[in-house]
């Protein structure tokens, strides 16, 4: 498959099962909502080292929030419910409770619940108060700028992490510009995040390593500086590869975001991008296979 001169590899990206949640963060204005959300989603690029993968999903106008203030929604993903709950409670206490004017609310409905303010209320030292509204419990915790308002729980759902595609280009600036175009398009979609810095990762990994304690290591087949040393996947003219990783609430959410991102790259003129590929690990990573040709509408 070739689109506007860019070869789309007949391959697939592998992704794995995760648990996910959404939190709505509001504040006096968007500036402070973003301060809280950026802190909440910091150091959350990969479960390999961060415990969770998290990111800002979208801005929320005041008419879409429970307290009629501007806000943002964040998505957070982990390999299991216990880790997700621990990370959410820790980040709530350190990043949202501490942020001036911020409040936090449930962003997803599910029978499975995960704590927002249920334990955080104890910070109130006995002065906290609660109210049940339409069957939903809220907590008010006294803080130095007034009160911190939070819902007791939010929903937790089964989700998918690790959807991805690789951008192979003739230079680093070309690869990065293409990645930025893809991210700009993908950020318009709901239910997905691209958790790495700016949505892009340069240190793509493979499963396994020559070192026994490492279960992931550099994807040498796609490292331009290793051409001629390893069994490379790169042609002579490829000098830079960028990867975009996607976490989403459903398979369809990730597939749609991959399609939108790849199509955005293929619309660029004289982009320097030669190929689009994906992280195919032979079934070692996860059960969800995102086949590039099928995603783009051509079944191979």
Per-residue pLDDT tens over the stretch 151-200: 999 999 999 999 999 999 999 999 999 999 999 999 999 999 999 999 99
CA–CA distance, 292 with 209 (Å, rounded to integer): 27
For residue 65, how many other CB atoms are within 10 A of its CB? Answer: 20
CA–CA distance, 14 with 23 (Å, rounded to integer): 27
Give phi and psi for 287, each to the nearest 5: -85, -10
Work out the average pLDDT over 278-300: 82
Q: What domains can be seen in the chain, in order of their start residue?
A: 2-14+159-295 (3.30.70.520), 19-157 (3.30.70.520)
What pLDDT does 216 receive? 86
The pLDDT tens digits for 51-63 are: 999 999 999 999 9
The pLDDT tens digits for 87-96 are: 999 999 999 9
Q: 121 in helix, strand or coil?
A: helix
CA–CA distance, 54 with 107 (Å, rounded to integer): 14
What pLDDT does 208 receive? 85
CA–CA distance, 91 with 78 (Å, rounded to integer): 14
Residue recorded with tokens 């991102």: 261
Q: 275 in helix, strand or coil?
A: strand
What pLDDT does 202 receive? 96
pLDDT exceeds cutoff 70 at 300: no
What percentage of the chain has pLDDT greater than the value 70? 98
The pLDDT tens digits for 70-122 are: 999 999 999 999 999 999 999 999 999 999 999 999 999 999 999 999 999 99
């Amino acid at each position: 498959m070739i689109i506007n001169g860019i070869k789309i590899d007949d391959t697939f990206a592998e992704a794995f099962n995760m648990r996910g949640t959404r939190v709505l963060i509001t504040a006096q204005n968007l500036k402070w909502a973003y301060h809280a959300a950026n802190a909440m989603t910091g150091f959350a690029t990969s479960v390999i080292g961060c415990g969770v993968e998290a990111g800002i999903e979208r801005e929320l106008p005041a008419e879409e929030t429970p307290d009629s203030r501007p806000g943002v929604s964040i998505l957070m993903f982990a390999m299991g419910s216990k880790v997700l709950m621990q990370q959410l409670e820790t980040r709530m206490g350190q990043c949202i409770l501490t942020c001036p004017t911020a409040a936090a609310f449930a962003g997803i409905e599910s029978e499975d619940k995960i704590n927002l303010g249920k334990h955080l209320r104890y910070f109130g030292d006995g002065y906290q108060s609660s109210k049940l509204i339409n069957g939903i419990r809220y907590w008010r915790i006294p803080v130095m700028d007034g009160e911190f308002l939070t819902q007791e729980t939010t929903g937790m759902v089964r989700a998918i992490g690790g959807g991805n595609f690789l951008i192979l280009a003739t230079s680093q600036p070309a690869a990065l510009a293409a990645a930025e175009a893809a991210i700009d398009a993908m950020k318009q979609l709901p239910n997905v995040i691209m958790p790495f810095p700016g949505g892009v990762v340069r240190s793509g990994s493979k499963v396994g390593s020559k070192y026994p304690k490492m279960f992931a290591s550099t994807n040498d087949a796609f490292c331009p500086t290793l051409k001629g040393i390893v069994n490379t996947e790169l042609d002579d003219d490829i000098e830079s590869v960028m990867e975009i990783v996607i976490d989403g609430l459903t398979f369809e959410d990730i597939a749609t975001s991959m399609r939108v991102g790849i199509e955005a790259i293929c619309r660029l003129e004289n982009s320097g991008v030669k190929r689009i590929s994906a992280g195919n690990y032979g079934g070692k990573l996860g059960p969800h296979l995102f086949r590039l040709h099928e995603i783009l509408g051509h079944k191979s």
